[in-house]
Amino acid sequence: MNAASTSLDAPALLGGRPAFADVAAEQLDAVYRYLVYLTGDRGAAEDLTAETFEKAFRSWRRFDPRRGSPRTWLCKIARSVAIDWFRAETRRRRREERYARDMPLVEEFGDGLPGPLQEALRELSPAEREVVALRVLLELDGPSAARVLGISQTACSTRLSRALRRLEERMDDVRE
């Protein structure tokens, strides 16, 4: 799981602060993927990605490469933006007297992802999907992912194992 991160994940090697345009170009897909997995809604993920980068633009002067990679920093911003979105969605659904389980997840998580895996991802909670996104798709290491999620590394690993096991079980069911 500790796969090599992109060059922007290793600020120490860069020896300074990267240019924002480079960071945005490099990390856009990562942030978008994370938000697709977290929200389960591509349209929302698109808006939230744009909002994340807007926030990042405004607070770029506060970014300190010594404290973490740009990807980790952007994911933290994206998570905060997504949580606001979840809250707003919950309120909206309450107003409309609908429940969270009724949320339509008609969109695909991945481009051309096999149907069973797609279904399995839909069955996961947003918290499980986001850890999968951070560790598998974005290839963040354990401490960085835990920092984004605001939990311990152990809790992060446990959550990831549980999520992957559920996905695996679902795939096994389909194979059988």
Partner 1 sequence: MSANEMTVERLLRAHAPHAPEGLRARVLASKPAPVRRWSLPPRRLALVVLPAALGIAVTAALVNGLVRSGNHPSAVQHGSAATAGATVTDSFSTAAPPATQRVGAGAAQSYKLKAPETPSVTSSRLAHTDASLQIRVADTHALSAATTRATQIATSLGGYAKSVDYRTPRNGDGAAYIELRVPAQNVKAAISRLAGLGTIVSQQLSVTDLESKLETQSAQIAQLRRRVAALRAALADPALPDAQRVLLQIRLAESKRALAQRLSARKGTISAGATARISLVIGTEKAIAPVAHRGRLGRMLHSAVGFLALEAMVALYALIVISPLALAAALVWLWRRRSVERLLHAS
Which residues form the interface with partner 1 (CB under 8 A)?
A: 1, 17, 20-21, 24-25, 28-29, 32-33, 36, 38, 42, 46, 49-50, 53-54, 56-62, 64, 66-67, 83, 86-87, 90, 100-101, 108-114, 117, 123-128, 130, 132, 136-137, 150, 164-165, 167-168, 171-172
Supply the minimum distance, in Å, between the C-beta of residue 12 and partner 1: 15
Q: How far is the CB of 14 from partner 1 (least distance, A)?
A: 15
Taking the complex as a whole, the smallest distance from the CB of residue 124 to partner 1 amounts, in Å, to 6
| Token pair for 108 | 């695909």
Q: How far is residue 69's CA from residue 48's CA, in Å, rounded to a whole number?
A: 20
CB 34 within 8 A of CB 137: yes
Q: Which is nearer to partner 1, 14 or 137 (CB)?
A: 137
- Pick 7 or 172: Cβ nearer partner 1: 172
Phi-psi map region of 170: left, alpha, beta (phi>0 left; psi -120 to 50 alpha): alpha
CB nearer to partner 1: give 14 or 24. Answer: 24
Closest contact distance (angstroms) between CB of 126 and partner 1 is 5
Give the whole-angstrom CA distance, residue 49 versus residue 160. 23
Q: Are 36 and 108 in contact (CB under 8 A)?
A: no
CB of 140 to partner 1, least distance (A): 13
**Residues whose CB is less than 8 angstroms from the CB of residue 143 and which lie 6 or more positions away in sequence, other chains included:** 153
Plot region of 10 (φ>0 → left; ψ -120 to 50 → alpha; else → beta) = beta
